[in-house]
Amino acid sequence: MRVEQRGEWPLLHVRSASRATELIAIDPDPDDLPAIAAHVADDPRAMATLVTPDLAPFLAAPFPGGVRVDRADETFMSTRLSPQGLPLLPGYRTRWSPDGHRMRYSVEDGRSVAAEGVVGVWGDVAVLDGIETSSRHRRRGLAAHVTDTLTAWAVSEGAATGVLAASPQGRDLYVSLGWQPRLAMWSWMGIARKSHI
Ligand SMILES: CC(C)(COP(=O)(O)OP(=O)(O)OC[C@H]1O[C@@H](n2cnc3c(N)ncnc32)[C@H](O)[C@@H]1OP(=O)(O)O)[C@@H](O)C(=O)NCCC(=O)NCCS
């Protein structure tokens, strides 16, 4: 993925199905909101994510035009990686598959994927992503096993610290595994400019 610097912040050329770019505004000031919005305004494939210890002053500030809130429920979390060897219930099969520069670990029930997740390692930092359990397999420890197994792989690749963006459900999972909530996240997307034909 290409990363360029836009002022103080990195702009990621994500090129995913839902977005082309994502600006990561790390610890911005509420006065920066118009400048952050200017990066994405009127472009429905541009995302900006604010990462901050406290969202309250941002939520109280005037909301800029040309953007919409995409997500306001994610938490940036981190941990010192320490795999616990969490076992898998009998009856499931597991699979590793490369996913670009990352590794995907899947748990399958014979017919379909029951749970999976992805990890990438950059230096001594591991980024976990896409951890999900299909609804009929939940609360059986599958996501905990997937997270722990990805952790073990990342440690074997030299990682010492783990980071991720957690959904509200994921936050409970990761807290149960010893991860710490660190920062709030607020993601915006641009809104397509109305045509006046
Ligand atoms: C979050 C998610 C991955 C959890 O999957 P799971 O396989 O059910 O999780 P586990 O069974 O391994 O849960 C392990 C522990 O995490 C915590 N936990 C998991 N899901 C929880 C929930 N919905 N509410 C509260 N605690 C939860 C509990 O402490 C649980 O232990 P317990 O069942 O003994 O109480 C699953 O609900 C999911 O796919 N959600 C939608 C996608 C998503 O939000 N993914 C996370 C992206 S960051």
Question: How many Å lie between the centroid of ligand 1 and the Cα of residue 9?
Answer: 32
Residues paired with 185 in a beta bridge? 51
* Number of structural domains found in the chain: 2
Question: How many Å lie between the centroid of ligand 1 and the Cα of residue 100?
Answer: 26
Residue 45 has phi, psi (to 5 degrees) of -105, 10
- Of 92, 144, 147, the closest CA to residue 118 belongs to 147
Say if ligand 1 is within 6 A of residue 191 CB: no
Determine how β-strand 2-6 pairs with β-strand 9-13: antiparallel
Residue 19 included in any domain: yes
Residue 11 included in any domain: yes
- Contact criterion met (CB below 8 Å) for 74 and 188: no
Tell me, what's the pLDDT at 135? 96
Tell me, what's the pLDDT at 1? 82
Per-residue pLDDT tens over the stretch 20-71: 999 999 999 999 999 999 999 999 999 999 999 999 999 999 999 999 999 9
Please report the sign of the dihedral spanned by the C-alpha atoms of residue 52, residue 54, residue 169, residue 141: positive
**Which CATH number belongs to the domain containing residue 149 in this structure?**
3.40.630.30
Which residue, by CA, sits nearest to atom 41 of ligand 1? 132
Residues 36 and 55 in one domain: yes
Residues 98 and 132 in one domain: yes
Tell me, what's the pLDDT at 121? 97
Structural domain boundaries enclosing 25: 2-73+184-190
Tell me, what's the pLDDT at 195? 62
Low-confidence ranges of the chain (pLDDT < 70): 195-197
